């Protein structure tokens, strides 16, 4: 699965699911995550309570004040009276909230020669693997934290799904006397599961066949490794529960553990969010850096037909933002030329980096609500690619920044399971106005950031 649209390929007809047939572009991962079921009941309850809160807020703002000195001219009062009341259901889509608790899994496809009687390693065994692999670094802070994470059983811990207005009072961090109130509240625990069923089938809860057979999703594998996939019956699932704090260290610790265990069992690694199966070497090279300098290595950008703006346009969607507690991002109204799509990819990666910073755990423990406007700077885009040394277009006479607004779009069949996708649009003062044209704004935004197209 590619991580850059700099392919020079042309876009052809789109598939039935809306995905564009662009050379070297991956298929959309729609497999159920290993941490399913998806706790839909909790999300629905959160949305209902949020709808009520939004409705009450809107009603309260509409209530007339007690008679006082008339401090507004008649024309202003007349304009306000003529405005249609806000629809709470519509407003809810504009309330983007980060997950308070995040769950992310990796599936390790063990060596085909693994004995049939193999059982999942215990927590103690995983800790010993870490000590052996990181011998001489036992006193390092992150090694100590990894051992601590492994020791914690997250059984019963609720996991939030990022999205629009998933706010509930019980989403707060635990009180000081509760079991989850340990010294590092961002590290909730680790779940360990082993699946030994024959791989394959579209109903496979871990890896549907299409992801194992797809040449793009498995492009990192040599022919021998790709041929071994069908025989890798032992699939070890490592799922960490954590919060976005300290440069998403829960994710970084999980990735360290996956590297250690994959090396021990000669495993290939499947990422349920992106649909990729990769070697240990590739996984290690892409691991999240402490300074978040390689966000672009953590997510993929997938092109789709743009049904909203017409046949002449493309939309790009991210996959993989769930691991940061964020909604996935979609920018539509894009022309089909490769240079424009590459610039749009840079913009989305920069926004992804900004979303990670915006979603950092609040000390109060309540879910973080995204502001109405997010400002993306060229420096954000460059930081997302810092680990690669990618050269972004430069324009000395341009602002090299753009303001955007996110709004949840209706779910589509090819979306990641139980995960919100939000459109990237102009601030509401522009995008809510009559006559707003997304393609015009998108072209202007890319030009503000990177300059005119060559």
Read off the pLDDT of each residue in 164-191 and give the average, rounded to a whole number.
56
- Residue 62 — very low, low, confident or very high, per pLDDT cuts 50/70/90? very low
- What pTM does this model have? 0.79
As given in the structure block, the two tokens for residue 281 are 């070497």
DSSP assignment string, 274-297? T--EE-HHHHHHHPPPTT-TTGGG
Range from 146-150, 257-261, 389-393 carrying the lowest mean pLDDT: 389-393
Binning pLDDT at 50, 70 and 90, where does residue 185 land? confident
Quick one: what percent of the chain has pLDDT higher than 70?
A: 74
For residue 208, give the nearest of 216, 217, 199 by alpha carbon: 199
Neighbours of 86 (CB within 10 A): 15
Question: What is the tens place of the pLDDT at every residue in 281-334?
Answer: 999 999 999 888 899 999 999 999 999 999 899 999 999 999 999 999 999 999
Map out the domains of the chain as residue ranges: 11-37+294-450, 102-286
- Can you tell me the mean pLDDT for 424-434? 98
Q: Which of 154-168, 213-227, 298-312 has the lowest mean pLDDT?
A: 154-168
pLDDT tens per residue, range 352-406: 999 999 999 888 777 799 999 999 999 999 999 987 878 899 999 999 999 999 9
Q: Which of 6-10, 127-131, 366-370 has the lowest mean pLDDT?
A: 6-10
d(CA 238, CA 102): 14
Sign of CA dihedral 115, 119, 121, 122: negative
pLDDT surpasses 70 at 213: yes
Q: What is the largest CA-CA distance in the chain?
A: 84
Q: In 157-246, which ranges are E strands?
A: 163-164, 187-195, 235-242
CA angle (381 as vertex; 91, 221 as ends), nearest 5: 105
* Amino acid 41: pLDDT: 37
Q: At what angle do helices 123-133 and 141-151 cross, to 10 degrees?
A: 160
Please write the tens of the pLDDT for every residue from 80-116: 444 566 788 889 999 999 999 999 999 999 999 999 9
Q: How confident is the model at residue 437 (pLDDT cuts 50, 70, 90)?
A: very high
């Amino acid at each position: 699965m590619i991580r850059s649209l700099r392919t020079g390929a042309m876009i052809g007809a789109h598939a039935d699911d809306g995905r564009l047939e662009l050379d070297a572009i991956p298929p959309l991962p729609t497999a159920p995550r290993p941490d399913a079921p998806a706790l839909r009941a909790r999300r629905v309850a959160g949305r209902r309570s949020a709808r009520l809160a939004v409705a009450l807020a809107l009603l309260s703002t509409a209530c007339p004040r007690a008679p006082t000195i008339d401090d507004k001219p008649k024309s202003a009062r007349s304009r306000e009276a003529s405005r249609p009341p806000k629809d709470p259901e519509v407003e809810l889509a504009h309330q983007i909230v980060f997950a308070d608790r995040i769950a992310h899994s990796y599936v390790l496809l063990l060596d085909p020669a693994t004995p049939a009687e193999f059982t999942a390693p215990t927590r103690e065994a995983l800790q010993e693997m870490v000590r052996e692999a990181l011998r001489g670094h036992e006193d390092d802070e992150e090694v100590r934290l990894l051992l601590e994470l492994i020791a914690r059983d997250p059984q019963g811990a609720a996991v939030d799904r990022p999205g629009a207005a998933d706010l509930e009072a019980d989403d707060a961090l635990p009180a000081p006397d509760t079991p989850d109130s340990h010294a590092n509240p961002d590290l909730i625990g680790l779940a360990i599961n082993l699946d030994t069923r024959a791989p394959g089938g579209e109903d496979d809860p871990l890896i549907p066949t299409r992801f194992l057979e797809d040449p793009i999703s498995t492009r990192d594998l040599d022919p021998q490794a790709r041929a071994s996939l069908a025989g890798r019956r032992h699939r070890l699932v490592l799922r960490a529960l954590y919060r976005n704090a300290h440069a998403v260290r829960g994710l970084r610790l999980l990735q360290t553990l996956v590297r250690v265990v994959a090396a021990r069992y000669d495993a290939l690694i499947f990422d349920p969010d992106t649909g990729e199966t990769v070697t240990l070497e590739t996984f290690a090279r892409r691991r999240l850096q402490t300074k978040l300098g390689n966000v672009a290595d953590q997510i993929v950008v997938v092109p789709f037909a743009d049904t909203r703006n017409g046949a002449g346009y493309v939309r790009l969607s991210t996959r993989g933002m769930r691991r940061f507690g964020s909604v996935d991002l979609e920018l539509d109204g894009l022309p089909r030329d490769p240079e424009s799509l590459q610039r749009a990819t840079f913009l989305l990666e920069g926004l992804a980096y900004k979303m990670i910073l915006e979603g950092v755990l609040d000390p109060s423990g309540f879910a973080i609500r995204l502001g109405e406007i997010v400002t993306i700077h060229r420096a954000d885009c460059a930081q997302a690619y810092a680990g690669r040394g990618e050269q972004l277009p430069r324009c000395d006479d341009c602002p090299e920044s753009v303001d955007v607004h996110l709004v949840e779009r209706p779910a589509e069949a090819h979306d990641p399971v139980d995960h919100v996708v939000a459109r990237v649009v102009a601030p509401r003062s522009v995008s809510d106005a009559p006559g707003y044209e997304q393609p015009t704004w998108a072209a202007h935004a890319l030009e503000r950031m990177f300059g005119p197209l060559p």
